[in-house]
Amino acid sequence: MLIRSPKDWELSESAVTAEQIYRLRNRRDFLKTLGVGLAGAALAPRGLLGATAGFPSQENPAYPASALKPTAYDFITSYNNYYEFGTDKSEPKDQAKGFKTDPWTLELAGLVNQPAKFDVNDLVKKLGGLEQRVYRHRCVEAWSMVVPWDGFPLAKLVALADPKPEAKFLKFSTFFDTKNVVGQREAILDWPYVEGLRLDEATNELAFIATGIYGKPIPNQNGAPLRLVTPWKYGFKGIKAIVKIEFTAKAPRNTWNVMAPQEYGFYANVNPNVDHPRWSQASERIIGAGFLGGRQATLMFNGYEKQVAALYKGLDLARNY
Amino acid sequence: MSDPLTISRVSFLEKLLRSKAFVVTLIVLPGLWPAWPLLRHDPTVLADPLKYVLHHLGFTACVLLAVVLTFTPLRVLFPKWGVALALNRHRRLVGVSAFVYAALHLTTHLLYETGGDVSALGRVFKAATTKPFQLIGLIAFTILLVLAVTSVNAAVRWLGGKRWKNLHRLVYVAAPLAAYHQITARKIFPVQVWWIFGPLVVLEIARVIRQRQGPRPPAKPAVASS
């Protein structure tokens, strides 16, 4: 018999009703996805279903839906910061609708022994399928959600690339497509969006590449088909629609840091004690909680202190925000 | 042929704008507007409905502030235009409305930040003083508060016309502060600031140029109202 000592982020059975509803919904969605996926493979062009449709996703028991109360699917997929597809949170859902994310190629490059290009579906197969993890998501704008992601640990991808000893950082890039993506025709940000992680951050157990939400392929507005998820960092670190991961010796600049270095740093670790210059980070609004749903205290590293605090030992977090 | 038609249309607009009830309706409607997406169950709005209301009220306050400030330059530039004269009848009404929206905006902000917990108010105000974005908004609001309180006739008598006028010139400080506050509310430059404050800037520049051109043949002095 396997005896598992509960980890600290595994809360008590606090949201039983939510969990039952969630599981029912999830199983139905799963069957639907599987059915559509199998039928779709034979009948329909894959692009209509989204990349990674048809891959079953198993809940990772270390990050169960029962520990947190997942935000409703409608809110997760209608409240998006994705400036390539509009600067209002309602816009990406509409404007990204026709964006083609299948087929999609991911390139692994830079200081690695195994540089390669993968079709996203081949990649998922190669990495052994998908798992589901329910993570907190904290935006730098002081709001938060709980998202049931499907995907795979970033560490698996790093292992596949086999970094050389001099590789210390990962630089993630998204697409640059002024023909199809209206937002990129204007210099709102320094396109294409880029993000970076230290190699030891990328191989931390929490770092995740999402391909789905609630057991369905991730919608375009949430970053289809491949999106970085680092739940102990502010949401803007979670680069969407990744096309390339380059391993580098020097720290890459990230887009928001280039845009406003005094407001957005490289680390972007969730920290209630270090305010944004324009607003407090001590607490956060809960998405979907309604008019007076109020706020909750923001947790150090967004509640993932045990998993990631060691990465930043000796680092001045007020300076390295 | 078209002349009498045009004239009748313009005078109709003028007549409409002279009506206090019509102007009050124009001012109140934007306050009710947020109800629409809330009733439609728009998930983007319902994700954080209070934030939506907060931004909408601040936006409306900025628009009304910019609009009321166009009245005087419009009258100076087009002294014979009936619409400009009609608008200038409502300067106090529109100005006080901008303050009311700003007050609702601030109240919503306090509710948003405290979640209704009154004991947290001190913390919220203290945080505001350390953040230029919030502090500037608060200063702009304080100016509008002073102007609204002294907008009653008794205050004009009490202060004397000249001092009252000088005091109310503070609105030219409040407007750029409000624009700054609106710009810094977003992570990137919000384009709507151009069309809210842009026309005002153009009109003010035109007015200054006009007034520097020296005395012109005396136009019919506008009837002082409110």
- Domain definitions of chain A by residue range: 16-267
The better pLDDT of the pair B161, A199 is held by A199
User: Tokens 């993890």 appear where?
Assistant: A133
Task: Read off the pLDDT band of A220 (50, 70, 90).
Answer: very high
Structure tokens that stand for B108 in this block: 């919503």
The better pLDDT of the pair B95, A290 is held by B95
Q: What are phi and psi of A179, to 5 degrees?
A: -75, -45
Task: Read off the pLDDT band of A197 (50, 70, 90).
Answer: very high
Tell me if A83 and B188 make a contact (CB, 8 A cut-off).
yes
Give the closest of A75, A260, A292 to B47, CB-based.
A75
Tell me if A188 and B184 make a contact (CB, 8 A cut-off).
no
CA–CA distances in Å: residue B157 to residues B143, B150, B164, B223, B225: 20, 10, 9, 19, 15
Average pLDDT in chain B: 90
Q: What are phi and psi of B81, to 5 degrees?
A: -80, 115
Q: What angle do CA A298, A303, A304 make, to 5 degrees?
A: 145
pLDDT surpassing 50 at residue A287: yes
- pLDDT, residue B36, reads 84
Report the gap between the CA of B186 and the closest CA in chain A (Å).
10
Instruction: Indicate if ipTM > 0.90.
Output: no
Report the gap between the CA of A299 and the closest CA in chain B (Å).
17
CB contacts, 8 Å: A287 with chain B: 47-48
- Please state the domain extents for chain B: 16-212
Q: Quote the CATH superfamily of domain A16-267.
A: Oxidoreductase, molybdopterin-binding domain (3.90.420.10)
Q: What is the mean pLDDT of residues A134-138?
A: 98
Mutation to test the B interface, candidates A71, A284, A285, A286, most B Cβ within 10 Å: A285
**Is there a contact between A246 and A170 (Cβ–Cβ < 8 Å)?**
yes
A-chain residue closest to B191, CA distance: A87
Report the gap between the CA of B185 and the closest CA in chain A (Å).
8
- pLDDT, residue A292, reads 84
- pLDDT, residue B217, reads 58
B-chain residue closest to A89, CA distance: B44
pLDDT surpassing 80 at residue B7: no
The better pLDDT of the pair B119, A29 is held by B119
Give the closest of B127, B186, B190 to A280, CB-based.
B127
Q: What is the mean pLDDT of residues A141-152?
A: 97
What is the per-residue pLDDT across A221-236, written as a single tens digit (0 to 9) for each? 999 999 999 999 999 9
Share of chain A above pLDDT 70, in %: 84
What is the per-residue pLDDT across B110-147, written as a single tens digit (0 to 9) for each? 999 988 889 989 999 998 999 999 999 999 999 999 99
What is the spatial distance between Cα B186 and Cα B192, in angstroms, rounded to a whole number? 11
Neighbours of A298 (CB within 10 A): 21
- pLDDT, residue B221, reads 54
**Is there a contact between B101 and B32 (Cβ–Cβ < 8 Å)?**
no
Dump the DSSP string for A274-305.
S--SSS--SEEEETTS-TT--EEEPPGGGGTH
- pLDDT, residue B34, reads 82
Mutation to test the B interface, candidates A82, A279, A287, A298, most B Cβ within 10 Å: A279
Structure tokens that stand for B6 in this block: 């045009």
CB contacts, 8 Å: A277 with chain B: 131-133
CB contacts, 8 Å: B45 with chain A: 90
pLDDT surpassing 80 at residue B218: no
What is the spatial distance between Cα A196 and Cα A266, in angstroms, rounded to a whole number? 7
Q: What is the mean pLDDT of residues A65-70?
A: 93
What is the per-residue pLDDT across B35-65, written as a single tens digit (0 to 9) for each? 888 888 899 999 999 999 999 999 999 999 9
- pLDDT, residue B216, reads 63
Q: CA dihedral defined by B175, B179, B185, B190, rounded to 10 degrees? A: 150
Q: What angle do CA B46, B132, B108 make, to 5 degrees?
A: 30
What is the per-residue pLDDT across B178-201, written as a single tens digit (0 to 9) for each? 999 999 999 889 999 999 999 999
Amino acid at B52: Y
Chain B residues within 8 Å of chain A (Cβ atoms): 42-51, 111-113, 115-117, 127, 130-134, 184, 186-188, 190
Report the gap between the CA of B117 and the closest CA in chain A (Å).
9
CB contacts, 8 Å: A281 with chain B: none
**Is there a contact between A189 and A89 (Cβ–Cβ < 8 Å)?**
no
